[in-house]
Amino acid sequence: MKLINSFKYAIMGIIEGFKSEKNMKIHVLAAIAAITMGSALHITKAEWLLITFAISLVISVELLNTAIEKTINNITKTNPETYKAMGLPKDLSAGAVLIVSIAALVAGLIIFLPYLI
């Protein structure tokens, strides 16, 4: 029963991340576009593996970023000085999302451009 609850809570977290975060919606739309292009262009199994990994990594890091931001916001809600001091961890986690998003974009370009040219 604990395992089922673990999956339930994980799925609830993913859904909440999608509902509450604008950037998550953008990442999911990009993932849908990549999957659609991959299907239309009949990319190879190896290319599917890279696309799947890139999508999973971006969405996972975005969920971690959201968890970090929400935790810091809740902890510092009552103390503006603490909130200022906690800006760096939020910036670092946002930077991690930016890095994996750029890497995923580059991977997508490397995979899809040869099919389109």
Number of domains in the chain: 1
User: With bands split at pLDDT 50, 70 and 90, how would you rate the model's confidence at 85?
Assistant: confident
CATH of the domain at 26: 1.10.287.3610
7 phi, psi to nearest 5 deg: -65, -40
Six-digit token string for 34 = 């990549």
Domain that holds residue 100: 2-116
Digit-coded pLDDT (tens) for 9-44: 999 998 988 888 899 999 999 999 999 999 999 999
Q: Which among 44, 42, 33, 43 is positioned nearest to 105, based on CA atoms?
A: 33
DSSP H helical ranges for the chain: 2-20, 22-41, 45-75, 80-85, 87-116
Catalytic pick among 16, 62, 69, 81: 62
- Residue 37 makes CB contacts below 8 A (sequence gap 6+) with 112
Q: Model pTM? A: 0.87
CA separation for the pair 1, 3 (Å, rounded): 5
User: Is the pLDDT at 80 greater than 90, yes or no?
Assistant: no
**Cα angle value 27/32/36 (rounded, 5°):** 150
**What is the arithmetic mean of pLDDT over 61-85?**
85
The per-residue pLDDT for 2 is 82
62 among known catalytic residues: yes
**Taking all residues of the chain, what is their mean pLDDT, rounded to a whole number?**
92
